[in-house]
Each structure stands twice: as structure tokens, then as C-alpha cells.
Amino acid sequence: MPEQTTSIDYVMEAASGPHFSGLRLDDRFLSSSSSALADSIKQPFVIGVSGGTASGKTTVCDMIIQQLHDHRVVLVNQICYAMWACGLCGQSEVRDFGDWGLAKEWGDSFYRGLSAEESERVHEYNFDHPGNVLINVDAFDTEQMLECVEKLKQGNSVQLPIYDFKNHRRCSESFRQVNASDVIILEGILVFHDQRVRDLMNMKIFVDTDADVRLARRIRRDTVERGRDVNSVLEQALQEEYLTSSFISVQYAKFVKPAFDDFVLPSKKYADVIIPRGGDNHVAIDLIVQHIRTKLGQHDLCKIYPNIYVIQSTFQIRGMHTLIRDKEISKHDFVFYSDRLIRLVVEHGLGHLPFTEMQVVTPTGSVYSGVDFCKKLCGVSIVRSGESMENALRACCKGIKIGKILIHRDGDNGKQLIYEKLPKDISERHVLLLDPVLATGNSANQSIELLIQKGVPESYIIFLNLISAPEGIHCVSKRFPAVKIVTSEIDVTLNDEYRVIPGLGPSTSCDGRSIILYPLRCFTDTLVSRCSGCTHEHNLHRPIVLQEATTFFKKHGVSDFTFDTCRLWGWRCRAKLAIRGSSADPQIGLYEEGTHNVVDIPDCKGRGIANITSYPRNIPSSKHKCCRGALEKRSYIFNAILFLERMAVTTYNTSLPASERYRSGRVQVSLVWNARSETSASAEKLNDLATVIFGNRWRHILGERDFWEHVGGIDVYLAPSSFGQANTKFLIFYNGFLISTVHSIDGIVFILQAFDSLLQKLHKYVPLGASVTDLYAGAGVIGLSVRCVEINKESKLAFEKTIERLPSSLDSSISWHHADTSLDPLSWLVGSDVLVVDPPRKGLDPALIGALRAIKQAERKAMTLESPTVNVKDEKRPWILRAREDSVNIPSRTIQEESRSLPQTLIYISCGWESFKENCTALLSSKAWHLSKAHGFNFFPGTQSIEILAVFKRGTGASVKKKKSGKKKKKIKSKIQ
């Protein structure tokens, strides 16, 4: 049997300073034990049991106590007047239930006691009255009861007073010692009367037994089973109960019954559970005991707020917590173990969603009765750190929509909503709100408020976090009691800086806060749903949507969909230069590996080019000189709310041998301002910033202006604002120096990067000499086009520069048009054989979709159309298709000479899977197009993104299928012959 590690002696310092007592995680040990974990349970569970006189409360209490034999239970009686009055319980006793390890304290401790004058008028005294009306005193010493129970709840022992029933006063010299216990049962007819007493109770039970029914049962039992006559039974019953003497009769009629009606019965409404038939109701008592057992294993706050759920602790979970709380943990391990825990929280949270029953047939033909998940669901990250839970959520809920809420801490009242991006139909969805640390609860409350304003019912919100501070739980649960909070551990408290104690590691990041608290103050991420900095570590070669994509294409007739995973490392991406912090203490730099923490680079000293461009997650240890000019403008930059910079390396001089090209390269820094409008609150700052940095839209600040890419065999110039494809180069660096751009480390193999792979595939689908129109062309990087159409006029400069470098020997015609594809899209289709579209993430403009759907009808009209009218001056240039010039054959001709036909082939390059699906479905449903081929490319390994190259052909494709099946038939025929 493997050795088990169960020690809880591992005390270490968490990132926030205090110690966390945890476990060493031993991979061999997987089981859990409640006893070792029960450590954290401090406060007893308090149950109030009320009901009318002789309703069976005592039986119920006894049964609960017996069933909880493995816990320490204390029973505290308020007192039962009738029992006292008939002398049946005129004494207190301490019973020892040694066999079942239970100490049960039995007493009538909180009768206040009467003065000498009151004792004389004892018959007028209503012991069943909570605020005695006759002699104006309280029958019970509620204050003392409160004090005792408070002490017991805090784990202290108390001395309960003993009541002398003979003299109607407390014994001054004797007390009963009651020790701390797991469960306190407060029993009495009026224990629900005082709100302060009720507030002490975690559970309130009302025993609801009709006295007449009890009497009737007794008569039946004694006459039928014991052969006695009714009169003697009644006599005995009356003797035993409350009607044996005239005094009792009077007391019952005068006090007990009215007090029951006036005070006991109305307090029934405070009960959480009403038990009909008292101690006979075994089912109810079983359920109650089950509930108490669950609660005993829970954190105290769960006893107060029924919608707090802490995932059940096991040694594995405690072990993972021990790791992530250790300030010495590596960031990699921290992210790994946090992610594991977050997944458990997400799974637990999903368990609170509604479901419908469903049956499926298994491969054996049997029926399995199961459930169907709730489909109307979405996640909402509270931006800064909520995104760190998105991966886990996506892993558990395929294709889940995730919205974002950004709340700024230092705004009005310490919190200000800055940004929200939520699904339009959020009011119909259950919402999983994500934030790994619940600290003060302020951001959470504001986010919940926003969701409610958007129409989400409070009870539809499940707030998921990794750790919670009690302060945060109080704050959220008091205000939104119907919101469920699911967490993996509840910590002790918050410190003065509102950090959770003991908190979690690794050691503080450069902004002085722990990573988990502030890993994602990613303003760029509010602009696009994911950024290339948001990478994950698992399944780098398989984006999560891959399976969905394969199924999607199969459904639409493409069963040979391919996916090119490309290289998983060393690819080039435009690094985003992140900006964080405050204007007083800004950080400008790159994301730290695996996180959204910014590594400040104030003293750029060169050599950083290689690292910056090699891979977005590799942070330059050295600094970069070329961005210094821009960085010096930091004070301006920090007045912006949303701000993003891009840096890209230029190959600069591609006539140099590849291995030397980047040594003398330059970095291009692009600054992009994001504001809702130029009249926004910070417009003044925007203008300052624009003047200083952008000039008239763009201003060249310093360094080389030119930025060159070598794509598809030609040199392409990219202006600062032009779109630039990611994953185009394979660079190898050693100690920060570039070794190679095209060869692997052993110097032999040349491997294409993702974009080059896509271009190679794309070229196969363009027949030689075809007339091609490239809508959404950027600077024309795809390089096939006869006509490039692009909305960003800045790309014109790039286009021109590229043309200048093209070999003059090329004989072809190419034009670049500054135009909006969505305006009169049909005019751009006329005269093209092949249409290439490479739209932004949002997909094709609706007008273009409309034109493509109606292409058949348009075809007839097109013959009579004029050539497209272009508002800007056309740039007619020679062009090259790609490196293999010999395969290129574009006859020299002008657009006017071309046919008026409309494209037969549509090549769709997509970077937005969701929009692609929509566009594709719209095209196919028109029956004007069918899908012929589809390929996927791993442009951003480690992200959710998939790049698609889809080839559509005109018509429904029915004839193609027929032809294929015809061929098959022939073959079969020939075989038969």
C-alpha cells in the first residue's frame, strides 16, 4: 500500500504575508477524510425547536440527538410551563449518554425567577407569556439566554443557571457547566418569539402536533391493544397531562391555550421546517439530521447564507491550495494548479443550473435515462482577473458565450463602470459571473447590479471564484441573497489594503499585487474578445473549435476538411505593448509569460528586437531602444482610458542574407487610441496625444519608418496602420541573437509558417490567368489580385512601396482601390472570375452577403452594367502572384477589357469562426453557392482562434455530386464486365 501523506503541519507564508496551514500534495494520495478537514469548523450549528405544549418537541430533540451520536450536542430548554406546573419536570438533570458519546444537558435554565411579591401571586403569573402582562415581567431571562448561546457559539463553555421550581427562583449557588459543542438545540414554546434569539439559530423547527389527535391515539392504543375502558384511559390521561386539578384546568384555560394561540402559533411563521405529527414523523427527522450533518461539514458562512457553496474539500484540493498559496511557487505551477481548482469550481457551479430529463439509446440498444444540460447560459468575466477563469469555463462548456464587465476601482465611490460587453439576449440566460478572488465584494455587487438591470433574474446568477473573503460574502449575499456563490475556499479576512488573508501566491507582481488578483487588467482585451497574449498551455496544436469546425464542414458537404497545425513555437506575431498602472506609476512593456502582468521596459537598450518578435510570450530580458521615443510620452498616454500599442519588427532589407536581415532590422511601434468618440470626456487629452504622437493621424516620431515583410516570396511594405498577418516567420534566436529565419536549429529543414501555408493552399484554387478581386485587401499581401479593394487609405502607401520593389520584368495589371466594400458591392464583383475575401473578425458586410446571395439574378443584369466606377484614382501596377513566378501568368489587360461575368469561385479567408459560420450558412441557404473545400490553420497556437480558408463554388453542387456518383457507377460497371 502506498505511503500516504496526510500531514497538516505544512505551514508556509502566503504571498500576502500571513501563514497558510495546508498539506503537502502527494500525487499518490487521492482520498479524503472528513475528520482531518473538520479542523476548520468552529461555530456550532444552532437549532431552535418550538411548538405547543406537549407537542412532542422533546421527542424530536431526543431523536435528533440520538441520530447525531457522533457529534457533541447540547440541549438547552427554555422551559415548558405545563411541565413545570404539573411537576413532571420540576427538577433539572444532567443525563450522560455515555454509550453514544453524547453529553446532553437538560435544564430549564432561563426562567427569570420571581420576587417574593411575585411568588405570592404565582397563580396570576403567566409563565407562557413572553412579556408577562399580569405582573409586567418577562417570564424568561432572554438576555442571559442570548449571552450563554453567544458564548457557546464562540466555542466557550458556559455556566447555566439552575431553576428551583419549588421556590420559583434560581439557585444562587449552583450552576451547570456546559461545554462547547457541535450542535446546540434550543428548545421551548417561545424560542422563536425574540428576534435576537431567532437570529442565533441556523435552523428553526416547529413541531406541529394537534393535542386532540394525540389524546385520540392514546385512547385507541389503550383500549384496542391493552383492553382498557375509555373512562379509565381518559382519567389517566387527564391525570398525566394538564387537566388533573382545578388549578391546572384554570391555568390551561386561562393561560396555556391563549398564550399558545397568541404567541406560540404565530411564531410558527419563523420556522424553516414544520414537522407535523411530532416525534412520529421519522422521515422529517431523518431529513433534518441529514441537513445538519451536511451543515456541520460546511463553513460557518454557509450556515448563515444558504446560497454559499464551498466545493467539498479533499486532500487533493487542500494540497492544490497549499501550492498556490505558497509565495515560492513558480508562475507556471501557479497558473496550472489555479486552473485545476477553477475547473472544479466551474463544474460545481454548473451543477446548480436547471436541467431537463432526457433519454438516449446506447450502442447496446438500451435506453439510458439522463438529463439534458441547460443551454441558455453564458459567462461574464469581471475584467482584471475574471478572464483567468475563462479557459476553464470554455473547457467545460463548449462554445459558451462570454461577456465582460470592467469596473474601475478609483472612480466615483471607489467603483465606476467603464466597459461592458454582454450577449444581447443575456436576460434569457443563466449567468456564470467570473472573478477568481472575492475580496470586498464591491466590484461583484456592481456587476450583479448591471446584470439585473439588463434583465437577468437575481436567481439566474452564479458567482464563481477561487477564494472568497468573508467580507465579500457578507457584502454580496446580504444585498443579493438569491445569487449563488461557489468558491473553493473561504479565507480568514481582508487586510487594510483589502487583500485577502492569508491569500495566495506567487510573490507579488511588479504592480505590487498578486497575479491572481490582477492578472488581466487588459484593456486591449476589452476591444477584442481574445488577444494573442491570452494563450493557454494545453493542446496547443488543437484549437478548441477544431472538432466543431470538422463537424460543421462535414455537415455542409466537405468531408476532407484539413487542419494545418503549423509550428507551435517560434512564430512571429505583432507584440502588443501593454500599458498599465497609473499616470504616477506607469508600466509600459510586454506581457509576462502566461499572464497579463506587464513587464515594464523603461530603459530599452536594444537587443530586444529578437525576443519581442520571436514569440509574444517571450519577454525580453534586455530592453529595447527603438520604442523609447514613444515611451517618453508616457504622461500623455496614461490619460487615456483604453490604449494599445503594437510593435513589429521589420525585415528592412530583404536583399541581405536571411540570417543577417534581422540583425539590422527596425521595430515599428504603432499607437492606437481607442475612444467611443472624439467628444468623449478625455477628448482634450486625446487631442494632445494625437498631436504629439499621431500628428495628422500618424506622425513619424523616430527611427526608420519603413517596415518590410517577406510574404509569399515578395517583399511587402506595411504602413504603421496597415493590417499585418501574424505567424508569418520562423525565427530562431539564441541568447537574444537571431540565428536563422528559415532553417530549423539543425540548419536543414525549412518549415513554412501558418500564413505561408495558407497562401500556398489558396494559390491552388486560383486558375492561371484568372481575374481576381481581393475585397478587404489591406496592403494587398495576398498578392493574387487584379483588383484590391480596401477601406483604409493608409494602406495605399504600403501598396505603392511594395510595387516599387517588385521586379520590373513582371507583366501584369493590378489596381488598388480605396473603397468601402459594403457600398455597391456588386460593382466589384463584375468582371472577376475569382473573388477573395479576407474580412475582419466580424465577417462580411451584410450588403456583400446580400449581393453574393443574389448573384444569379445579378448575373443577367451584369451584362448590361457599366464598368465599376471608382471614386479615387486607380493605381494600376504590375504585380506578382507569388515566389514561383513561372507558375504565374496574368495577361496584361485592363479592367475595361474584361468580361462582365460574375465570379464562379469565392475564396473566403476567415479569422472569426463565429462570423464565418453565419456568413457560410447565409451563402449556402441562398443555393447560389456550395462549399467545395475547407482548410484550417493554427495562426495563434494556444488560443481559441482558428483561421479558415474556404472555397465556395457557384450553384448547389448537385451536379458535381451527380458527376462523382456517375463515375463511381461506371467503375463498378467496368468491374462487373
Ligand X SMILES: C[S@@+](CC[C@H](N)C(=O)[O-])C[C@H]1O[C@@H](n2cnc3c(N)ncnc32)[C@H](O)[C@@H]1O
> Taking the complex as a whole, how short is the minimal distance between the CB of residue 793 and ligand X, in angstroms?
10
Applying CB under 6 A, the site for ligand X has a residue count of 19
Closest CA to 421 of 451, 396, 395: 451
Gap between the Cα atoms of 838 and 915, Å rounded: 12
Q: Is 416 labelled as part of a ligand binding site?
A: no
Q: Does 840 bind ligand X (CB under 6 A)?
A: yes
Quick one: 32 or 915, whose CB is closer to ligand X?
915
Quick one: 70 or 820, whose CB is closer to ligand X?
820
> Taking the complex as a whole, how short is the minimal distance between the CB of residue 825 and ligand X, in angstroms?
9
Q: Does 781 bind ligand X (CB under 6 A)?
A: yes
> Taking the complex as a whole, how short is the minimal distance between the CB of residue 907 and ligand X, in angstroms?
11
> Taking the complex as a whole, how short is the minimal distance between the CB of residue 792 and ligand X, in angstroms?
4
- 559-584 exposure pattern, b = at least 16 Cβ within 10 A, e = fewer: eebebbbbbeebbbbbbbbbbbbeee
> Taking the complex as a whole, how short is the minimal distance between the CB of residue 838 and ligand X, in angstroms?
4
Give 124's DSSP letter. G
Quick one: 267 or 725, whose CB is closer to ligand X?
725
Quick one: 495 or 792, whose CB is closer to ligand X?
792
Helix (H, G, I), strand (E, B) or coil at 333: helix
DSSP 228-297: --HHHHHHHHHHHTT-SSHHHHHHIIIIIHHHIIIIIGGGGGG-SEEEETGGG-HHHHHHHHHHHHHHHT
Bridge partner list, 187: 49, 77
End-to-end alpha-carbon separation of the chain, Å?
Answer: 70
Closest CA to 489 of 348, 375, 697, 654: 348
Binding mask 61-90 for ligand X (x = CB under 6 A): ------------------------------
Closest CA to 275 of 286, 266, 261, 262: 286
Quick one: 433 or 836, whose CB is closer to ligand X?
836
Q: Does 776 bind ligand X (CB under 6 A)?
A: yes
Q: Of 392, 791, 907, 924, which one interacts with ligand X (CB under 6 A)?
A: 791
Gap between the Cα atoms of 299 and 310, Å rounded: 8
Quick one: 141 or 845, whose CB is closer to ligand X?
845
Phi/psi at 108 (5° precision):
-120, 70
Give 694's DSSP letter. I
Q: Does 778 bind ligand X (CB under 6 A)?
A: yes
> Taking the complex as a whole, how short is the minimal distance between the CB of residue 450 and ligand X, in angstroms?
31
Q: Does 587 bind ligand X (CB under 6 A)?
A: no
* Spatial CB neighbours of 58, under 8 Å, sequence gap ≥ 6: 187
Q: Grid coordinates representing 621? A: 530580458
Helix (H, G, I), strand (E, B) or coil at 467: strand
Q: Is 857 labelled as part of a ligand binding site?
A: no
Quick one: 91 or 915, whose CB is closer to ligand X?
915
The secondary structure of the chain in percent helix, strand, coil, rounded to multiples of 5, reads 35, 25, 45
Gap between the Cα atoms of 352 and 342, Å rounded: 16
> Among 296-304, 338-346, 759-767, 788-796, which window interacts with ligand X (CB under 6 A)?
788-796
> Among 375-383, 495-503, 530-538, 814-822, which window interacts with ligand X (CB under 6 A)?
814-822
Q: Does 784 bind ligand X (CB under 6 A)?
A: no
Helix (H), strand (E) at residue 457:
none
Q: Of 105, 511, 790, 833, which one interacts with ligand X (CB under 6 A)?
A: 790
> Among 179-187, 449-457, 493-501, 783-791, which window interacts with ligand X (CB under 6 A)?
783-791
Q: Of 47, 789, 834, 923, which one interacts with ligand X (CB under 6 A)?
A: 789
Q: Does 563 bind ligand X (CB under 6 A)?
A: no
> Taking the complex as a whole, how short is the minimal distance between the CB of residue 775 and ligand X, in angstroms?
6
> Taking the complex as a whole, how short is the minimal distance between the CB of residue 910 and ligand X, in angstroms?
9
Closest CA to 467 of 493, 435, 489: 489
Q: Of 546, 649, 777, 829, which one interacts with ligand X (CB under 6 A)?
A: 777
Closest CA to 204 of 426, 29, 45, 408: 45
Bridge partner list, 947: 937
Gap between the Cα atoms of 305 and 485, Å rounded: 10
Q: Is 62 labelled as part of a ligand binding site?
A: no
Q: Of 118, 715, 845, 947, which one interacts with ligand X (CB under 6 A)?
A: 845
Give 743's DSSP letter. B
Phi/psi at 464 (5° precision):
-105, 130
* Spatial CB neighbours of 706, under 8 Å, sequence gap ≥ 6: 650, 652, 666, 717, 801
Quick one: 39 or 824, whose CB is closer to ligand X?
824
> Among 349-357, 467-475, 781-789, 890-898, which window interacts with ligand X (CB under 6 A)?
781-789
Residue nearest to ligand X (CB): 778
> Taking the complex as a whole, how short is the minimal distance between the CB of residue 885 and ligand X, in angstroms?
20
> Among 9-17, 80-88, 247-255, 774-782, which window interacts with ligand X (CB under 6 A)?
774-782
Quick one: 622 or 822, whose CB is closer to ligand X?
822
708-727 residues near ligand X, rule: CB under 6 A: 723, 725
Q: Does 508 bind ligand X (CB under 6 A)?
A: no
> Among 316-324, 356-364, 672-680, 836-844, which window interacts with ligand X (CB under 6 A)?
836-844
Gap between the Cα atoms of 59 and 588, Å rounded: 71
Residue 32: burial class (beta carbons within 10 Å; 0-12, 13-18, 19+): middle
Q: Of 603, 820, 824, 897, which one interacts with ligand X (CB under 6 A)?
A: 820
For 76, 488, 536, 618, 858, the CA distances from 337, given in Å and listed in that order, are 46, 12, 13, 22, 58
Gap between the Cα atoms of 466 and 459, Å rounded: 21
Residue 44: burial class (beta carbons within 10 Å; 0-12, 13-18, 19+): buried
Q: Does 128 bind ligand X (CB under 6 A)?
A: no
> Taking the complex as a whole, how short is the minimal distance between the CB of residue 933 and ligand X, in angstroms?
19
Q: Does 822 bind ligand X (CB under 6 A)?
A: yes
Quick one: 422 or 819, whose CB is closer to ligand X?
819
Gap between the Cα atoms of 919 and 929, Å rounded: 12
Binding mask 898-937 for ligand X (x = CB under 6 A): -------------x--------------------------
Gap between the Cα atoms of 422 and 896, Å rounded: 48
Sign of CA dihedral 29, 33, 35, 37: positive
Q: Which of 302, 626, 911, 920 is catalytic?
A: 911
- Let me know if 396 is a catalytic residue: no
> Taking the complex as a whole, how short is the minimal distance between the CB of residue 977 and ligand X, in angstroms?
52
Quick one: 446 or 792, whose CB is closer to ligand X?
792
> Taking the complex as a whole, how short is the minimal distance between the CB of residue 680 and ligand X, in angstroms?
23
* Spatial CB neighbours of 913, under 8 Å, sequence gap ≥ 6: 545, 549, 945, 946, 948
Q: Does 838 bind ligand X (CB under 6 A)?
A: yes
Quick one: 456 or 923, whose CB is closer to ligand X?
923
Gap between the Cα atoms of 186 and 45, Å rounded: 11
Q: Of 32, 144, 312, 792, which one interacts with ligand X (CB under 6 A)?
A: 792
Q: Does 760 bind ligand X (CB under 6 A)?
A: no
Q: Which residues bind ligand X (CB under 6 A)?
A: 723, 725, 776-778, 781-782, 789-792, 820-822, 838-840, 845, 911
Binding-site residues for S-adenosyl-L-methionine: 725, 790, 838
Catalytic positions, please? 911
Binding-site residues: 725, 790, 838
